[in-house]
Amino acid sequence: MKKHIFFVLLLALTMTLVCACGKGTSKKGNSSTGATSDGGSVIVGITNDMDSLDPHKAVAAGTREVLYNIFEGLVKADENGVMQPAVASEYSISEDATTYTFTLRDDVTFHNGKKVTASDVSYSLKRAAGFLDDSEDIKVVTAFSIISDITEQTSEDGKTQVVVTLSEPNTELINYFDSAIIPADYNDQNTSPIGTGPFKFVSYKAMDSVVIERYDDYYGTPAHLNEVTFKIYSNVDDAFTEILAGSIDIFPYISVDQAAQLEDAYNIEVGQQALAEGLYINNEDPVMSDVRVRQALSYAVDFEEIDEIATGGVSAVLKTGMFPSYKEYYNAETESYYKHDPEKAKELLADAGYADGLDIEITIPNNYQLHVNIGEVIVDQLKDAGINATIKQVDWSTWLQDVYSDRNYQTTIIALDATLAPGNVLRYYYEDNSSCFTNFNDAEFNELYDAAVAAVDQSEKVELYKEAELMLTEKAASVFLMSPAISVAVSKDLAGYTFYPIYVQDMSKIYYVE
């Protein structure tokens, strides 16, 4: 499929919708400055249901982007990816990287009005680490397994401190302490969650909406908006129809052609987030277990054309599992691999026993149009290498169960997220991590990964991670495609939309402009 034809088809499809873009319908607040307006409400369109309201049980990035507004950890990332104090007012790490000391703020309260205590912090960390008896269904923070002790103490100036002792050195662990702090004596997180964030939970209706409202006793800078409704849509087409009607204020998943239709009624914000879009491979599949087949797939796709068609050429082409935005750790050497070469792909397939061609299946969640669009391009590109690919579209809950949990798939297209720890980015290929849905299971890679995580010397850590990334590329653990740019439609009545290097929707900074 040529680029021109693809764009024409996309345009013809989307123009069949009636484009009647108008002003957003959300109620504004009152302004005393004449420039910004505190108060009011907005509707944010999202295309996935919540897999859990409990922050320690939520798996999907699309769930965590909502819960980000309700929950906080001891620290939280700023726009530059630097971990800043949150529930903790400050923290320190011992020189040997085996002791983390957090000084707690004395003015933080949960949304039920109770003050956050050291006991709440200890409980939350142990729960996230899977150390408690009630940790069933918890999305365990695997990195916390090296925690050997959590104690409470009082500093010289009378402040409460929580001291976390590790069984082995780890300089990356600070990036995991954004794990939510929740009340130790509260058991209804999955129905009526309580956190410490700038917004508190109001209501949730499955496959309909999540409503949050400003928490007026928030210790930090308060949110501008009174209320935010995350409106859930089963697919992008339904959401886009409402965007065209002007009934959604913010929608963070628009495509290039959709942006062109919306630019008169919405501001189109474009930014980078830490996501890795790829054709991810089940390495234990009988066909995909052959490295020659995986390498053939990498030669058969045209990375630049996919980027141009899917995101207008503004994304970063990716050929390994690390995000380019993590500049210190990213191995740029991988970019020279897998130049588009269908004939090379055919040779590899022939060597693997598929001289007459190969049939494969690509499972794609249908709630993100970007994944579907990329899949359609890849199907067309693979034909030149004698690969017949069939797309199997599934809903989001089915993808989570069949692909992510049960690993019952051959290939899939998805965008993976991570915390700011480099080890968390590469966990999808590490055998002992529950997130390793790719089933890469390579002993040499596992050894490198362990050494990189444990390294205290920063230069050594960087080199080990780069070596591990190169291995993922050479062994074609998956077909890494791009770190996609995110295009967000924001009502012209609103300002303050902020991009982060992690996948979140921060509603606390959004405000109305006069």
Q: Using one digit for the tens of pLDDT, what is the confidence trace for 307-356?
A: 998 888 888 899 999 988 888 899 999 999 999 999 999 999 999 999 99
Q: Residue 294: enclosing H or E segment and its boundaries?
A: helix 291-300
Using CA atoms, how far apart are residues 405 and 441, in angstroms rounded to an integer? 16
Q: Using one digit for the tens of pLDDT, what is the confidence trace for 80-106?
A: 888 999 999 999 999 999 999 999 999
Q: Using one digit for the tens of pLDDT, what is the confidence trace for 277-309?
A: 999 999 999 999 999 999 999 999 999 999 998
Q: Is residue 283 part of a domain?
A: yes
Same domain for 406 and 376: yes
Q: Is residue 111 part of a domain?
A: yes
Using CA atoms, how far apart are residues 248 and 235, in angstroms rounded to an integer? 15
> Domain containing 442 — which CATH number?
3.10.105.10
Q: Mean pLDDT across the stretch 487-500?
A: 94
Dihedral over alpha carbons 227, 47, 60, 443 (to 10 degrees)? -150
The pLDDT value recorded for residue 13 is: 33
The pLDDT value recorded for residue 472 is: 98
Same domain for 162 and 45: no
Same domain for 369 and 310: yes
Same domain for 501 and 420: no
Same domain for 292 and 240: no
Q: Is residue 467 part of a domain?
A: yes
3-state secondary structure 332-393: HHHHHCCCCCHHHHHHHHHHCCCCCCEEEEEEEECCCHHHHHHHHHHHHHHHHHCEEEEEEE
The pLDDT value recorded for residue 137 is: 81
Please say whether the dihedral angle defined by the alpha carbons of residues 206, 207, 209 and 215, taken in this order, is positive or negative: positive
Q: Is residue 7 part of a domain?
A: no
> Domain containing 232 — which CATH number?
3.40.190.10
Band of pLDDT at residue 368, cut at 50, 70 and 90 = confident
Q: Is residue 498 part of a domain?
A: yes
Last residue in a domain, options 147, 176, 205 = 176
Last residue in a domain, options 176, 207, 237 = 176
CB 228 within 8 A of CB 40: no
Q: Using one digit for the tens of pLDDT, what is the confidence trace for 4-51?
A: 333 333 333 333 332 333 333 345 544 444 456 699 999 999 988 999
The pLDDT value recorded for residue 135 is: 66
Q: Is residue 14 part of a domain?
A: no
- Which residues is 482 bridged to in the sheet? 277, 317
Last residue in a domain, options 143, 176, 209 = 176
Same domain for 205 and 287: no
Same domain for 404 and 416: yes
CA angle in degrees (0–180, nearest 5) for 444-439-283: 90
β-strand pairing of 227-232 with 250-251: unpaired
Q: Is residue 221 part of a domain?
A: yes
The burial class, CB within 10 Å (0-12 / 13-18 / 19+), for 216 is exposed
Write the DSSP string, 197-238: SSEEEEEEETTTEEEEEE-TT-SSSPPS-SEEEEEE-SSHHH
Q: Is residue 18 part of a domain?
A: no
Closest CA to 454 of 77, 179, 167: 167
Same domain for 433 and 301: yes
Q: Which amino acid is at 206?
A: A
Residues 6+ apart with CB under 8 A from 161: 101, 102, 103, 104, 118, 152, 153, 154, 155
303-311 and 369-382 are packed helices; what angle lies between their axes, rounded to 10 degrees?
Answer: 150
Domain around 354 = 276-483
Residues 6+ apart with CB under 8 A from 97: 166, 169, 170, 171, 456
Using CA atoms, how far apart are residues 276 and 477, in angstroms rounded to an integer? 13
Same domain for 282 and 259: no
Residues in the chain: 514
Same domain for 456 and 307: yes
CB 209 within 8 A of CB 460: no
Using CA atoms, how far apart are residues 435 and 205, in angstroms rounded to an integer? 28
Number of independent structural domains in the chain: 3
Same domain for 235 and 306: no
Same domain for 264 and 140: no
392 or 260, greater pLDDT: 392
